[in-house]
Amino acid sequence: MVKVILTGATGNAGSAALIAALAHPLISAVTTLGRRGPYTENPAINPITVSDFTTFPPDLVSQVADHGAIIWALGISQTKVSSEEYVKITYDYTIAAANALKPLGTPEKPFRFIYVSGEGAAQDESGRAIFSKIKGRTEKALHGLQSEGFKTVSVRPGGILPMKEHKPRMSGWERYLLPPLGAVLSTVYPSAIINSFDLGIVLAELAAGTDGGNVGKGSKAEL
């Protein structure tokens, strides 16, 4: 059994990962880190309020010292913030967490960092969009932190179709345009789309220590 940390629990991917993790037979508890607690209520959830993700002080790390993995689903659209803020949220937050949590693993029991990246991320930063460059930069940095006691996986979902429970929490254009767009893509370009429920299962399995064999359409995982 493993305890799992989760960020972005109120988001599209994160909320699905939370539900999947709670249902996974090998996951005993989920600690969420965020500015607010998750929408889901369950005795197995331990919400911890975090207002600043640029640093992970020792007292915070000590609260998750017995955890074996983190699903990093924290993120934001590049269209909603400045370039500087996007880099801070996407790269700085992620690498600060990875450096702080890396000592929790051992060669016998490695800590697993499951990073929700995105289709189109380019580790050589050859992409034209800031999303491609910074997601790729983050993947590469995480890979460089790997050791016998710290393993990373970058999951690259395409478009993520939300669960019905999450739709009311989405912005207007996402709520109304993503479902019909997803229906079209599921038919003509199935590898470009994935249901958040399916993505959640993949993330939970990877956090639990399975090989990620159920990574399905619209999602790629890179070890």
Q: What single string gives the DSSP state of each residue in 32-64? A: EEESS--S---TTEEEEE-S-TT---HHHHHHT
* pLDDT tens, residue by residue, 2-35: 999 999 999 889 999 999 999 999 999 999 999 9
Mind listing the pLDDT tens digit for each residue in 153-181? 999 998 777 766 655 566 655 656 666 66
Number of domains in the chain: 1
The answer to whether 72 and 94 have CB atoms below 8 angstroms apart is yes
Model-wide pTM > 0.95: no
Contact 28, 1 (CB under 8 A): yes
Quickly list DSSP for 142-180.
HHHT-BTTEEEEEEEE-EEEPPTTTGGGS-HHHHHHHHH
> Do 114 and 70 form a contact (C-beta atoms < 8 A)?
yes
Residue 144 has pLDDT above 80, yes or no: yes
- Give the pLDDT mean for 59-68: 97
pLDDT of residue 89: 96
Q: At 11, is the secondary structure helix, strand, or coil?
A: coil
Closest CA to 38 of 17, 59, 52: 17
Range of the domain at 72: 2-222
DSSP code at position 89: I
CATH number at residue 190: 3.40.50.720
